[in-house]
Amino acid sequence: MSEIRTNPFTGEMTLYAENRKNRPYEFVHKTQTKNTDNQNCPFCGGHETWTTDAVYQDGPDGAWQMRVFPNMFPAVKEDCTKCEKEPFYEAAAGKGRHEVLVDTPDHNETIDEFSVEHIEKVLQVLQDRLNHFRSRKHTQYVQIFKNCGPSAGMSVRHSHWQITGLPVVPRRAALMADTIQGENCLFCQMLTYEKEQGKRIAAETEHFLAVTPYAGRFPYELWLAPKAHQRDFGDMNDAERKDLAKLLWEMLQKVTKLKEDVGYNICVMDGPRNTDFHWHIEILPRIGGFAGFEYATDCFICMVSPERAAAYYRGEEINE
């Protein structure tokens, strides 16, 4: 079963993918993130037959640096064409594609330990896969994300990304797209304002700004965005990709020092198909957790102001 159901009161979507209950989960204790035993890891070199066939691999079996293959436990399926609709509700078949990018052959290496050059190559592969997904006629939205640590939803320790192509546009992406339109792009206006104010700027490069969003949901939440209006992550050129790789590496050095074994998500936020947008990357540290208030109200309690978070990322001393 892969089915997308829409809440008739809020417009929120739930993707039911019952096959994912069978996926492996390696973390017995949430604080346990390192394990030198890679004998049972399907993502390690030499275990290529343990996964689906690769659609991209930059070297022979056992000697590659990056490898992309369809997820063995996909949230959406290419052969899913039907769902059991009910007249009162809105639902859609979970037809789509779900891939995994394993971004290192080293079982214990994490993205903050990568070289800037390797991160640049990872970004290139992600761009290539995004463009491939966009070429598929049924794909309305592509979500690229990386879960780092068990508190961030990581189930296999070996570093990897996931790329999902969905037949529908998630509510959050649709709402953001409504405000991001060409010359009137609200995101461009926000970046201009933030640069003038300065207090929520975490870092700046030639092509990118790193900002702590004014109303972020997570403590130390961080957005990395192109300064020029650019609708698609796949449109980033070589110079911009090199610039972003360096910025991402620098910011992850700060994120991983927030607390021991901090979990975090990296989400590439792109627009719906054939829609103007201002793409960006959201880094979401998982410090604390959501509870009843957040789930009931969709209003988030955050214990660290974005101004204080930006000061931390800038390396400034923070007075308590």
User: Domain for residue 86, yes or no?
Assistant: yes
- Write down the pLDDT at residue 231: 93
Residue 167 in this model has a pLDDT that exceeds 80 = yes
User: Domain for residue 185, yes or no?
Assistant: yes
User: Domain for residue 26, yes or no?
Assistant: no
Cβ-contact 94, 80 below 8 angstroms: yes
Each residue's pLDDT tens digit, 281-312:
999 999 988 888 888 988 988 999 999 999 99
Domain span including residue 292:
2-18+41-310
CA 227, CA 210: separation in Å to the nearest integer?
A: 10
Single-letter residue type at 305: S
- Write down the pLDDT at residue 31: 39
Question: What percent of the chain has pLDDT above 70?
Answer: 93
- Write down the pLDDT at residue 274: 87
298: left (phi over 0), alpha (psi -120 to 50) or beta: left
Q: pLDDT band for position 28 (50/70/90)?
A: very low
Residue 168 in this model has a pLDDT that exceeds 70 = yes
Residue 21 in this model has a pLDDT that exceeds 70 = no
User: Domain for residue 33, yes or no?
Assistant: no
Instruction: Give the CATH number of the domain where residue 226 resides.
Output: 3.30.428.10
- Write down the pLDDT at residue 1: 65
User: Domain for residue 160, yes or no?
Assistant: yes
Q: How many domains does the chain have?
A: 1
Q: pLDDT band for position 320 (50/70/90)?
A: low
- Computed over every residue of the chain, the mean pLDDT equals 91
- Write down the pLDDT at residue 23: 64
| Mean pLDDT score, 101-127 | 97
Residue 234 DSSP code: G
